Structure 1
Amino acid sequence: MASMLSRALVNYPNRFDPAALGELPERLQSTVKRRNNVLGPGYALNYREPVEFVSGRGAHLFDPDGNDYLDAYNNVPCVGHAHPHVVEAVSRQMAAVNTNTRYVQESLVDYAERLLATMPEALSKVSFACSGSEANDLAMRVARFHTGGEGIIVTRWAYHGLTREVASFSPTLGAGSPLGPNVRVIDAPDPRLVPPGSSLPDYMRSQVRGAINDLERHGYRLAALITDCAHSSDGIFTDPVGYLRDMVEEVHAAGGVYIADEVQSGFARLGESMWGFSRHGVLPDIVTMGKPMGNGMPMSGVVFRPEVCDEFGQNVRYFNTFAGSSIAVAAGAAVLDVFEAENVQQRVLDNGRALRAGLEEITRESPYVAQVRGSGLYVGVELVKDRESLEPDRVRADHVINDMRERRILISGTGEAVNVLKIRPPLAFDSADVTRFLETFAEIAEMRL
């Protein structure tokens, strides 16, 4: 069991080594020891030297000594840490009442209508949950009920959640969390994997077709293809636009549904559109969302084409005590207010372009950077031992991540080899934050890249 845990943690990105506990400052060491004494299994801290935060604002976090850290990692507070409009809306509702969906709430209906208005018209029903894991769990239940199938297709290193069901189709959890026998994995849309003479859309279609054939050979009818449109855990692959259409056509031809997991790529994270799937011109059958919905409040959602979910709703009871509660709805509505008032999507476009352009310029001559890729404010920098072999360099990536943390900028790592720098700030990230990030990254690049 211990060796299984060790293997599972090998791929935990940017993990604090408990063996280094004695090297931490005395106060921090004491808190971490107390934490280890009371928390259950599986917890881990980030960075070579963990950091404690006591407050935040926008894309900035502050430690107990008042030091300002630039947050280029946390997507949950999408409109910014402690955004005053969200704080006020939640506080006001908490002081009034907190009820659930068994009671009439006009605010719930208003919010559902506003949320659905950001989607294609055909996606017209929404159910609420408390986490992305719950949302994906419900989405797959509905997909199975609607199709009569059990087969699931995911990308090779995808993450979709932590419930037992969703963990069974989340390969990134590692060998200690085995995939279900009804799950097949395909490559992420990395153009470098395409055979000569083929195209990325054709390659992705052929992989889906092959997975469907193998599922059927083992007695599994297809239920769903589920993808994160940023392919966050696979190493961040957002382009080229359009490859997804062929995959969805193949899924529909086999009687399955397409689930767009927008927990990472939604809420304008990728810049050009509110939702990641919209960039590819596809209409999902089901859309799931989570973390950013409430800017830190535990809320998530599942949006359906009604013909996919109606029969499920007539035959299966779904109730979630805290999902769609008055306080969660107040937070969600406040987030949409901020998107409108601050033109968040345009800010993401402008600052995302500046960030990627700066990173490309800094790393252009580096023999250790294979690619800078991404869209909007989701950027990956792939580090390798050399550009010829493209052999992943996790050690170098780990050094860069911790060098940035020492200079009070937070990023992390992703990809199967954890060699891709993951840059995913709150959408409050502004032009001054971009400048600070690039100036610091350039300093580290001189040493490491």
Structure 2
Amino acid sequence: MDGSFLTKSQTLDLRRKYVGPSCTLFFKSDPMKIVRAAGQYMYDEEGHTYLDCINNVCHVGHCHPTVVEAASAQMKKLNTNSRFLHDNLVILAQKLISTMPPSLCMIYFTNSGSESNDLALRLARHHTKATEIISLDRAYHGHVTSLIDISTYKLNNMTDGVHKKPDFVHIAECPDTYRGKFRDVDHKHEDLGKLYASDVDDIISKVHSNNKKICCFIAESMQSCGGQVIYPQGYLSKVFKSVKAAGGVNIADEVQTGYGRVGNHMWAFENQDVVPDIVTIGKPMGNGHPVAAVITTKEIAASFGACGVEYFNTYGGNPVSCAVALAVLEVLKEEQLMENACRVGDAMRSKLTGLKEKYPRIIGDVRGVGMFWGIDMVKDEITREPATDDAAFVLKRLKDQFVLMSRDGPFENILKFKPPMCFNLENVDTVIELLDKVFNELATIRESTSAREIRSTSFDESLEVLEPPSKQIRLNGLDTSASDLEVTSVTPQLVSQKVC
């Protein structure tokens, strides 16, 4: 049907045989074989259409024709390294820097968010000549060694004792006002930013008492893998001021949160009224193509330039990658996707709040902005005990109804919503209607079954299958027939995944 040569079982067998076991899959008990995608929809090998609420990488929509054409056209002409002059690189640099505060005016191109964050740490060290790094609890900044060092999202789950947090890394409290150290039920909202920022102040004082100096503070502008955490207002401004006063630099990791996802701004750090010293970008920049960047000040770039060695990245800033990134910026503007993120965000806020009021014993908190939302699932609305198994149940039932969502956070109880930016209001209605039905089903199960039995109970098969949004779906200028989709039964089974 899709032109692939292998059956799903053959593909899975080969993956198990040749791909390292730590490379995980979504829905591990029943992994999906996706063979094509367009816009906010993905298609499996049997032709079933899935609404994608997961992929923040394909930022302007899967396989957007403008992006695909830009890559193809440039690849037919030239692809080489950045030691040759090429217009694509400098035009892209100019366009990206034009979206930043004036002080952020120098750029380095890389291939991934991990590369960008690793380079950001190098820049900070060469500029400050200091060693001590402050990162947030639950943070994830990348997969290379230097970033695992500062990412407790990964470090806290390592069991072989090989990789441990270095002494020069200091972990500050995650400013989660719902289930963090300082909670919204215990403190005034206007005090929460100050309370969490004081933890960073304490770390700085301790570092200084040991006759050491602060190199940098690094944080996502909103924490993603840590549980879709929106920081209390004023938090980053207070932290940035303290770090600056201590001689350090502030790094804003916008790899997952930037590029207009918040809707009202291009970069999520703008919602906290701060100006970082270094900004890292990645995932959405190439709409699935590997391209990323680091943007910093002239002063920090000069310090790095004076270190004695050149910076060279074989593929960073190559003509094809830059053509792709330019096309993404074009689509983001021409299709007014930031404005769309505002509309979708307003709808999500209203409708998720309604679900929380309807199911207070299941939904403890909803938080987000634009196309970045989290649903904190609980077993008890008073104790806020995380409902990990129930979150897995919800994901499985959504998948049964052809909607893909993921979960995350330290207890894997946060439902994550980070779809392509072309996600529309009709899609919101589809997701909310299904969530309503699944939460209702979960409420019924809770009433009739003990927590232990939830893992083995038969699921209520009365949950109706919704038809795709239309029989003829228009995706990024392409007409895709959905009239002959066949619904297949899927054996209900709880799933577990922790993939960033």
Shift of 1:41: 4.1
- Cα-to-partner distance string for 1:174-219 (whole Å, 9 max, x where unaligned): 3424222111112222234436478122112211111222333445
Shift of 1:57: 0.7
In 2, are the aligned partners of 1:370 and 1:387 still within 8 Å (CA)? Answer: yes
Q: Which residue does the alignment assign to 2:192?
A: 200
Q: Which residue does the alignment assign to 1:238?
A: 230
Inter-partner Cα distance in structure 2 for 1:37 and 1:216: 51
Q: Alignment partner for residue 300 of structure 1, among 263, 274, 292?
A: 292
Q: Are residues 1:384 and 2:378 paired?
A: yes
Inter-partner Cα distance in structure 2 for 1:175 and 1:443: 34
Q: Alignment partner for residue 139 of structure 1, among 120, 129, 134?
A: 120
Q: Alignment partner for residue 327 of structure 1, among 317, 320, 323?
A: 320
Inter-partner Cα distance in structure 2 for 1:145 and 1:406: 51
Inter-partner Cα distance in structure 2 for 1:365 and 1:440: 14
- Cα-to-partner distance string for 1:235-269 (whole Å, 9 max, x where unaligned): 11224433210010011111111000000110011
3-state DSSP of counterpart to 2:352: helix
Shift of 1:310: 1.0
Instruction: Give the length in aligned residue pairs.
Output: 424
3-state DSSP of counterpart to 2:398: helix
Q: Alignment partner for residue 96 of structure 2, among 101, 112, 115?
A: 115
Structure 2 gaps, min length 5: 1-5, 444-500
Change over 3 Å in CA distance of 1:41–1:65 after alignment to 2:
closer
Q: Alignment partner for residue 436 of structure 2, among 438, 442, 447?
A: 442
In 1, are the aligned partners of 2:34 and 2:43 still within 8 Å (CA)? Answer: yes
Greater Cα shift, 74-83 or 218-227: 218-227
Q: Alignment partner for residue 186 of structure 1, among 164, 168, 172?
A: 172
Q: Which residue does the alignment assign to 1:257?
A: 249
Q: Which residue does the alignment assign to 1:172?
A: 153
Calculate the aligned-residue CA RMSD, in Å: 1.6
Shift of 1:29: 3.4
3-state DSSP of counterpart to 2:259: coil
- Cα-to-partner distance string for 1:82-139 (whole Å, 9 max, x where unaligned): 0000000000001110022100011211111001001111100010100100000000
Inter-partner Cα distance in structure 2 for 1:441 and 1:368: 12
Q: Which residue does the alignment assign to 1:161?
A: 142
Q: TM-score, normalised by structure 2?
A: 0.82
Q: Which residue does the alignment assign to 1:349?
A: 342
In 1, are the aligned partners of 2:356 and 2:364 still within 8 Å (CA)? Answer: no
Q: 1:83-94, aligned counterparts within 5 Å? A: 83-94=64-75
Q: Are residues 1:363 and 2:356 paired?
A: yes
Inter-partner Cα distance in structure 2 for 1:54 and 1:41: 22
Q: Are residues 1:30 and 2:24 paired?
A: no
In 1, are the aligned partners of 2:8 and 2:45 still within 8 Å (CA)? Answer: no
Q: TM-score, normalised by structure 1?
A: 0.91
Amino acid at match of 1:214: K
Q: Alignment partner for residue 96 of structure 1, among 63, 77, 84?
A: 77
3-state DSSP of counterpart to 1:264: coil
Shift of 1:169: 0.5
Inter-partner Cα distance in structure 1 for 2:8 and 2:289: 27
Higher fraction of helix: 1
Amino acid at match of 1:369: I
Identity over aligned pairs, percent: 35
Structure 1 gaps, min length 5: 1-25
Inter-partner Cα distance in structure 2 for 1:368 and 1:354: 21
Shift of 1:38: 0.4
Q: Are residues 1:421 and 2:415 paired?
A: yes
Q: Are residues 1:71 and 2:64 paired?
A: no
Change over 3 Å in CA distance of 1:97–1:433 after alignment to 2:
same
Shift of 1:353: 1.4
Amino acid at match of 1:178: K
In 1, are the aligned partners of 2:40 and 2:423 still within 8 Å (CA)? Answer: yes
3-state DSSP of counterpart to 2:313: coil
